[in-house]
């Protein structure tokens, strides 16, 4: 299984996945605006014309990368709600998975998190909706924990932003040379967040 198969199992055909990976690598290295469709096609070993068979534009390719990254993180965040009932356990799992994803997928995550403003208006709205849903789940778990006296925080909205910030910023600094594996880092951050929220 190649990296691009693992990243986007639902994208068909394999050529489209290869172009998305080439896009991720080019955008992460030089930024969206400095990357041309020719650069991306070249990095995938294709002609610019072959790229347009799969993506009508550079923006469409970015949107696929962004949408899919947001859908994946939303899915793991929502999954936590079905895996646990207790707010402390939910928050621990949520942070573990969210942090591990941003570490394991740090190059994809960098594009997903830092190239939002490059999305066209309509595509930005779609991704914005997914982001708001992710934030909402985090806020819901915090509210649940406040209700059961499991958490104590002065400003739940600020706390939710801080929880997500810790995970998102992993994409900026994490590298394959990092001391901790994605899973180990997730576990450490899970503990830190529970303390931050006043659990126990």
Stretch that binds its own copies, among 6-14, 41-49, 68-76, 192-200 (CB under 8 A): 192-200
Contact between 133 and its own copies per CB under 8 A: no
- The radius of gyration of the chain from alpha carbons, rounded to an integer in Å, stands at 18
- Number of residues in contact with its own copies, rule: CB under 8 A? 36
Q: Rule CB under 8 A: is residue 180 a binding residue for its own copies?
A: yes
Q: With CA atoms as reference, report the closest residue to 163 among 83, 94, 81, 67.
A: 94
Tell me: does residue 154 bind its own copies (CB under 8 A): yes
Instruction: Note the Cα 39 to chain centre separation in Å.
Output: 24
Q: Per rule CB under 8 A, is residue 185 in the interface with its own copies? A: yes
| Residue 158 touching its own copies (CB under 8 A) | yes
DSSP notation for 91-133: HHHHHHHHHHHHHHTHHHHHHHHH-GGGS-HHHHHHHHHHHHH
Contact status: 132 vs its own copies (CB under 8 A): no
Residue 114 binds its own copies, judged by CB under 8 A: yes
Phi, psi of 148, rounded to the nearest 5 degrees: -95, 10
Q: Of the listed pieces 5-13, 65-73, 142-150, 184-192, which binds its own copies according to CB under 8 A? A: 184-192
The yes or no reply on residue 195 touching its own copies (CB under 8 A) is yes
Query: Minimal distance in Å, beta carbon 163 to its own copies?
Result: 10
- Cβ-contact 171, 110 below 8 angstroms: yes
114-120: long-range pairs with CB below 8 Å, 24+: 114/171, 114/172, 115/27, 115/31, 115/32, 115/62, 115/66, 116/66, 118/32, 118/33, 118/59, 118/62, 119/59, 119/62, 119/63, 119/66, 120/59, 120/63
Q: Which of 12, 172, 181, 183 binds its own copies (CB under 8 A)?
A: 172
CB of 1 to its own copies, least distance (A): 29
How many other C-beta atoms lie within 10 A of the C-beta of residue 14?
12
Mark residues 10-39: x for contact with its own copies by CB under 8 A, - for none. -------------------xxxxxx-----
Interacting residue ranges for its own copies, rule: CB under 8 A: 29-34, 113-114, 117, 153-155, 157-159, 161-162, 165-166, 168-170, 172-173, 179-180, 185, 188-189, 191-193, 195-198
């Amino acid at each position: 299984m190649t990296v691009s198969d693992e990243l986007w199992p639902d994208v068909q055909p394999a050529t489209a996945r290869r172009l998305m990976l080439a896009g991720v690598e080019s955008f992460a290295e030089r930024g969206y605006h400095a990357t041309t469709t020719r650069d991306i096609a070249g990095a995938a070993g294709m002609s610019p014309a072959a790229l347009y068979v799969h993506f009508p534009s550079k923006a469409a390719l970015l949107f696929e990368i962004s949408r899919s990254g947001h859908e994946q993180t939303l899915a793991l965040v929502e999954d936590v709600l079905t895996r646990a009932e207790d707010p402390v356990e939910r928050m621990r799992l949520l942070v573990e998975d969210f942090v591990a994803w941003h570490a394991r997928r740090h190059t994809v995550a960098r594009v997903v998190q830092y190239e939002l403003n490059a999305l066209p208006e309509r595509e930005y709205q779609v991704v914005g909706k997914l982001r708001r849903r992710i934030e909402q789940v985090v806020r819901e778990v915090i509210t649940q924990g406040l209700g059961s006296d499991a958490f104590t925080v002065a400003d739940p909205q600020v706390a939710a932003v801080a929880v997500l910030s810790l995970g998102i910023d992993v994409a900026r600094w994490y590298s394959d040379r990092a001391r901790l594996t994605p899973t180990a880092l997730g576990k450490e951050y899970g503990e830190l967040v529970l303390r931050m929220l006043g659990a126990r």
